[in-house]
């Protein structure tokens, strides 16, 4: 989020440190630079948003035009006119946003309260990325502050100029979009702009800027120790009682986003049970916007009103009853839910994608019923579905990050070269991913775009990687697709009963077909996934983890091979719509997690919190440590730089640097130069050494007189350490070098050696050891 601005920040702080005597011109440039950095800070936030949703070129162009306009108008119009202009600009931008969001302009006045509540929602931590028309919003938002702040800065009104920029940045901070570093850079730039502006006005010089650098360092230190920025997305609110680092915790970290991480764990604990006459995946979340390293759900949720949108085509209905076994912040349903039943539905919100979610977590034992639509679609029908997508589907489900590489695009085109219809494309991508990548939970998250990294570089991953990559590939091909999280059907313990555990957490892809609706595809290779998950369950059972089973499930064996692990089925090379509705236990690719085999349910000797809860604790720690290190380097580097500059400035103020240099210089001669210089330097070191021990040399005292005086004084006071007779030699070399015709290399080296020796013998600790 912060590449741009941190770069700016670096430039600025470095230039503060420059020591050349400069007039008010340079101060003015610095002040203007600070305003630019402030502008850069919030524009970079907006730019990051547009990079995800598109329109970054327009944004940059818009900002550039605004800067030019402000420069041009700076001398021609009065501030009042500029203020009006900016207000008008903001109004036009806002209106533009509303229009493209499909809101009639007239509504603005009638639905002022709704607008107000939107604004409040944004200001209380709703990330801009969740807005449906985030790109348009940024384009509407940017011009006014950019124009106004630059206009005012050019007119020398720095303290006024930082106000619009500060407001813009502050708003982005409140939405939680501005990261710490950007905020910090922006704040420092604002402080810098005002300070340099003041320096310019009062004719100060650049030399006084070191005080400013100290201030910056203080600000950095304070802001690092006291954090009041809300909406920090790094603190996941776990909707499931999974421990951090588990697959569930990653994909269900918050209601609006689904993260992608490196290595994850599987929890063997039972989450819920489902009574259903048909096997299905249990969906808990639907996401449409991909930022490159996480999925975001756009749009607001609304309270469940008794009915959910039904698919456009033919469908059968399926009834389920879901009972929570642990506290549950999610509401698993078989796609596509049509209606809900039970008490909890009174406090259920539904996303724009038709996915319900409880407003308060379900208690263990609470249950609800779901009626789902089982889309009636066979491959032939899907092949014939065409591409006549509704606009609301293409609007939101074709998004790819703007910086997606052409390599990814080309690779995708290669893979789908043979496919003509969207269905064939999906099938081709699905089978390609299944066959070319291995299943593994132990992976390191690639830097940058995860989908790109997985397709082009990685050779193994887990469902999140598979599903993300497939979604993105489909979108590149113009096929609307979305990323879905949830659980696989779980362990079947009875004809119509399924036990779903944490380790069943899964993510997959839904692809839209006109006249049919959203159809499930699962690119994750089923077989190896089963193995991993079964091993995990067996391990948990072996360790006596009681939460790993319900009363019903503990006697049921983990059926490792019931011929129903279709994901790994090579007989279906063209892939398959893994629609549960046509699944009678034979659908390939549907259910990687069929029966189980409880080989030893009651080996209850080991404590439940056994280290076996993690798949591989050691590797996990190591990986996370290295990831952590990589993750903090850039931010920490920038902050450290500011702190360092502050320290340096402070040191300069207090003269500490000079003292340090002298202090070190006593013990280390430094690199050899000309013999004469070396001899002189050797004597300077000796002088400092003696100054520490006896007294410093007076300005009017010649070198020789100084040493003579010292040895005379020391003869008088016998207690003092005798002056080493070799100092005479150093003195002579020095005199010869400075006043005579120079010293030889050997003489200079000898002088250095003597001083080195004397310095060593006077080292606080080492000297005593000798």
Question: What's the rounded Cα separation, in Å, for the pair 31 and 195?
Answer: 8
Closest to other proteins by CB, 153 vs 727, is: 727
Residue 220, CA distances (Å) to 17, 224, 521, 645 in order: 17, 6, 48, 11
Min dist CB 709 to other proteins, Å, is 12
Closest to other proteins by CB, 569 vs 735, is: 735
Question: What's the rounded Cα separation, in Å, for the pair 366 and 631?
Answer: 41
Min dist CB 742 to other proteins, Å, is 10
Closest to other proteins by CB, 607 vs 742, is: 742
Closest to other proteins by CB, 378 vs 674, is: 674
* 62-75 residues labelled b (16+ CB within 10 A) or e (exposed): bbeebbebbeebbe
Closest to other proteins by CB, 436 vs 702, is: 702
Identify the three-state secondary structure at position 570.
coil
Question: What's the rounded Cα separation, in Å, for the pair 382 and 476?
Answer: 20
Min dist CB 71 to other proteins, Å, is 54
Q: In 3D, which of 318, 321, 422 has the Cα closest to residue 374?
A: 318
Identify the three-state secondary structure at position 193.
helix
Q: In 3D, which of 657, 723, 637, 714 has the Cα closest to residue 686?
A: 723
Question: What's the rounded Cα separation, in Å, for the pair 572 and 569?
Answer: 6
Closest to other proteins by CB, 229 vs 738, is: 738
Closest to other proteins by CB, 434 vs 685, is: 685
Min dist CB 699 to other proteins, Å, is 4
Closest to other proteins by CB, 38 vs 731, is: 731
Question: What's the rounded Cα separation, in Å, for the pair 626 and 630?
Answer: 6
Q: Token pair for residue 709?
A: 């005086």
Q: In 3D, which of 455, 241, 525, 231 has the Cα closest to residue 364?
A: 241
Q: Token pair for residue 664?
A: 């070190």
Question: What's the rounded Cα separation, in Å, for the pair 181 and 41?
Answer: 9
Q: Token pair for residue 587?
A: 């659908």
The torsion angles phi and psi of 458, rounded to 5 degrees, stand at -85, 155
Closest to other proteins by CB, 466 vs 694, is: 694
Closest to other proteins by CB, 323 vs 708, is: 708
Can you give the binding site for other proteins, defined by CB under 8 A? 699-705, 735-736, 738-741
Q: Contact, 575 vs 523, CB < 8 A?
A: no
Question: What's the rounded Cα separation, in Å, for the pair 409 and 474?
Answer: 10
Question: What's the rounded Cα separation, in Å, for the pair 512 and 398?
Answer: 11
Q: In 3D, which of 467, 473, 506 has the Cα closest to residue 488?
A: 506
Min dist CB 719 to other proteins, Å, is 28
Min dist CB 732 to other proteins, Å, is 9
Min dist CB 696 to other proteins, Å, is 13
Cβ–Cβ contacts within 10 Å for residue 767, how many? 12
Question: What's the rounded Cα separation, in Å, for the pair 263 and 217?
Answer: 37
Closest to other proteins by CB, 613 vs 676, is: 676
Min dist CB 4 to other proteins, Å, is 51
Closest to other proteins by CB, 153 vs 743, is: 743
Closest to other proteins by CB, 460 vs 662, is: 662
Beta strand 282-287 with 289-290 is unpaired
Min dist CB 749 to other proteins, Å, is 21
Nearest 5 degrees, angle CA 50-CA 55-CA 58?
A: 120
Min dist CB 694 to other proteins, Å, is 18
The residue to which tokens 């690092």 are assigned: 224
Closest to other proteins by CB, 158 vs 734, is: 734
Min dist CB 741 to other proteins, Å, is 6
Question: What's the rounded Cα separation, in Å, for the pair 260 and 447?
Answer: 11
Omega before 490 cis (within 30°)? no
The one-character DSSP state at 292 is S
Identify the three-state secondary structure at position 649.
helix
Min dist CB 704 to other proteins, Å, is 5
Min dist CB 738 to other proteins, Å, is 6
Closest to other proteins by CB, 17 vs 735, is: 735
Q: In 3D, which of 498, 484, 451 has the Cα closest to residue 470?
A: 451
Q: Where are the beta strands (DSSP E) in 282-362?
A: 282-287, 289-290, 294-296, 302-303, 315-324, 337-341, 348-350, 356-358
Closest to other proteins by CB, 317 vs 702, is: 702
Min dist CB 708 to other proteins, Å, is 9
Residue 38, CA distances (Å) to 5, 73, 114, 153, 160 in order: 8, 20, 31, 11, 13
Question: What's the rounded Cα separation, in Å, for the pair 572 and 691?
Answer: 89
Which contacts qualify for 637-640: CB closer than 8 Å, 24 or more apart? 638/2, 638/6, 638/9, 638/10, 638/181, 638/185, 639/181, 639/184, 639/220, 639/224
Min dist CB 651 to other proteins, Å, is 27
The residue to which tokens 């609007």 are assigned: 395
Min dist CB 692 to other proteins, Å, is 20
Q: Token pair for residue 240?
A: 């499931």
454 CB-side CA count, 13 A: 34
Min dist CB 662 to other proteins, Å, is 16
Closest to other proteins by CB, 428 vs 731, is: 731
């Amino acid at each position: 989020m912060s590449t741009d601005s941190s770069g700016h920040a670096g430039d600025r702080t470095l230039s503060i440190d420059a020591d050349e005597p400069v007039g008010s011109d340079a101060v003015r440039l610095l002040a203007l630079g600070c305003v630019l950095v402030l502008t850069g800070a919030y524009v970079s936030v907006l730019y990051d948003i547009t990079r995800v949703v598109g329109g970054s070129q327009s944004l940059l162009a818009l900002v550039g035009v605004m800067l030019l306009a402000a420069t041009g108008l700076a001398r021609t119009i009065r501030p009042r006119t500029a203020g009006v202009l900016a207000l008008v600009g903001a109004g036009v931008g806002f209106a533009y946003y509303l229009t493209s969001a499909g809101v009639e302009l007239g509504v603005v006045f009638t639905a002022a309260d709704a607008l107000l509540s939107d604004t409040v929602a944004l200001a209380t931590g709703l990330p801009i990325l969740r807005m449906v028309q985030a790109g348009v919003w940024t384009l509407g938002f940017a011009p006014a502050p950019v124009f106004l702040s630059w206009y005012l800065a050019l007119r020398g009104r720095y303290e006024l100029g930082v106000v619009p920029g500060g407001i813009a940045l502050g708003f982005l901070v409140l939405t939680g979009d501005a990261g710490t570093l950007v905020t910090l850079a922006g704040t420092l730039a604002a402080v810098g702009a005002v300070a340099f502006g003041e320096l310019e006005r009062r004719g100060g010089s650049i030399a006084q800027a070191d005080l400013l650098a100290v201030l910056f360092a203080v600000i950095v230190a304070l802001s690092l120790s006291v954090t009041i920025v809300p909406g920090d997305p790094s603190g996941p609110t776990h909707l499931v009682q999974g421990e951090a680092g588990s697959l569930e915790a990653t994909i269900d970290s918050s209601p609006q986003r689904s993260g992608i991480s490196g290595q994850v764990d599987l929890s063997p604990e039972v989450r819920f049970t489902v009574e259903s006459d048909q096997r299905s995946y249990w969906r808990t979340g639907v996401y449409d916007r991909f930022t490159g390293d996480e999925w975001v759900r756009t749009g607001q949720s609304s309270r469940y009103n008794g009915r959910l949108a039904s698919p456009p085509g033919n469908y059968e209905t399926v009834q389920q009853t879901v009972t929570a076994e642990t506290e549950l912040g999610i509401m698993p349903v078989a796609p596509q839910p049509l209606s809900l039943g039970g008490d909890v539905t009174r406090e259920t919100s539904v996303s724009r994608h038709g996915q319900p979610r409880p407003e308060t977590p379900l208690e263990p034992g609470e249950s609800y019923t779901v009626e789902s639509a089982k889309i009636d679609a066979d491959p032939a029908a899907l092949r014939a579905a065409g591409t006549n997508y509704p606009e609301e589907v293409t609007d939101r489900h074709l998004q790819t990050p703007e910086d997606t590489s052409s390599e990814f695009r080309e690779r995708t085109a290669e893979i789908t070269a043979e496919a003509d219809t969207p269905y064939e494309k999906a099938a081709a991508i699905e089978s390609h991913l299944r066959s070319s990548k291995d299943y593994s939970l132990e992976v390191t998250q690639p830097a940058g775009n995860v989908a790109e990294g997985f397709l082009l570089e990685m050779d193994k991953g887990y469902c999140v990687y598979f599903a993300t990559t497939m979604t993105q590939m489909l979108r590149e091909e113009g096929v609307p697709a979305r990323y879905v999280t949830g659980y696989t059907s779980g362990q079947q313990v009875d004809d119509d009963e399924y036990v779903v555990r944490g380790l069943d957490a899964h993510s997959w892809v839904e692809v839209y077909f006109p006249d049919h609706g959203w159809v499930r595809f699962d690119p994750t290779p089923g077989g190896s996934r089963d193995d991993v998950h079964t091993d995990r369950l067996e391990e948990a059972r072996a360790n006596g983890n009681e939460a790993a089973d319900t009363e019903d499930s503990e006697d049921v064996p983990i059926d490792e091979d019931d011929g129903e692990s279709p994901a790994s089925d090579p007989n279906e090379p063209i892939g398959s719509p893994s629609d549960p509705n046509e699944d009678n236990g034979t659908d390939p690719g549907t259910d990687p997690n069929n029966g189980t085999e409880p080989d030893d349910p009651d080996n209850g000797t080991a404590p439940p919190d056994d280290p076996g809860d993690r798949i591989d604790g050691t590797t996990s720690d190591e990986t996370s440590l290295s990831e952590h290190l990589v993750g903090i380097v850039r931010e920490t580097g920038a902050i450290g730089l500011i702190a360092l500059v502050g320290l340096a400035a402070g040191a300069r103020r207090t003269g500490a640097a000079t003292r340090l240099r002298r202090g070190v210089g006593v013990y280390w001669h430094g690199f050899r130069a000309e013999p004469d210089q070396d001899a002189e330097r050797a004597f300077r070191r000796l002088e400092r050494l003696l100054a520490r021990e006896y007294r410093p040399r007076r300005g009017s005292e010649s070198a020789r007189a100084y040493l003579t005086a010292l040895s005379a004084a020391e003869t008088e006071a016998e207690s003092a350490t005798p002056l080493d007779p070799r100092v005479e030699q150093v003195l002579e070399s020095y005199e010869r070098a400075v006043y005579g015709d120079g010293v030889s290399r050997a003489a200079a080296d000898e002088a250095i050696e003597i001083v080195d020796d004397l310095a060593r013998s006077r080292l606080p600790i080492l000297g005593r050891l000798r």
